[in-house]
Structure formats: C-alpha cells, structure tokens
Structure 1
Amino acid sequence: MAHEEDINQLPVTERDRSFVELNILDQLHSLRRFTEVTDAIKKGRLQIHGLVYDTKAEKAYRVLEGQQSSQDMS
C-alpha cells in the first residue's frame, strides 16, 4: 500500500478512519470501471459519492477524491 508506513504511525482511531477512507476511494474507483457507470456520469445522469459516518461525532463526511482529507457534511 502506498501510504501504509505513514498511516501506521497515526493513533489507532485516525489510522482506522484512514483505512476506511482508502477503502471508499477504492470502491469509487471500482465503480468507475463499469461502462454503464462511466456513461451515466458523462451524461449527467449519475453522481457517485463516498461517505464516512463518524459515530463519535455523529456526522457524515464526504470522502473527496484527489485530496488528503474529508469534508464535513453538516
């Protein structure tokens, strides 16, 4: 994994969230491999978003592709 060494240096809760966010980004990438998904996105008929729900903060965060952090959805 590209950033595994950096992630493993984080406190456990931050590390776990980082792995969750990386998994979400991987799933978004996987969805875009489907021709039907790609075509629908190009035609403006579909948008896909990655979200993380933080149970402690009771908030959802959008996982932004190509950026280092998540965006608060509140």
Structure 2
Amino acid sequence: MIEAEYKARLAKPDAVRAKLAERADPDNVSYRDVYFDTADHSLVRTDREFRLRTISGTSGTRHLLTFKDSAVDAVAS
C-alpha cells in the first residue's frame, strides 16, 4: 500500500466551506498528536512515525494509534 496525500491552497475558503456544508453536517474537532520514538531517534531518522492522536469534537472523543512507515516510490512499469 502506498499512501498519497494531496494539499491545495484555497483561494476562497468560505465558498468551499459553504459547498461542503451543503453535503454534510460540519463538526468542529480538535486534534492532539503525541509522537513516540526510540531513545536513539531511529524512527525520525528513517522517516517513520508512531503517534497517539486524540480527536475531540461534538460527537465525543476518540483515540487512534498510528504508525507510518517511510515513503516508498512506486516502480513504474
């Protein structure tokens, strides 16, 4: 599995929020991330992450434990 993340700078963020609100109920949430590493920082050195994310919003609070491995370039065929 290869993860891809896309980011875009919005010229009209209010217009985008309005369009999204037409399609779903908005929920204001806050994220709190705590990152963990080994004593010798081998995760950071090898571009990996191990984190505990706490997400709090109007629907409650939940916790996610995630591990992200280093990025991989797909081999073109």
Q: Which has the larger radius of gyration?
A: 2
TM norm structure 1: 0.27
Q: Which has the higher helix share?
A: 1
TM norm structure 2: 0.27
Q: Which has the higher strand share?
A: 2
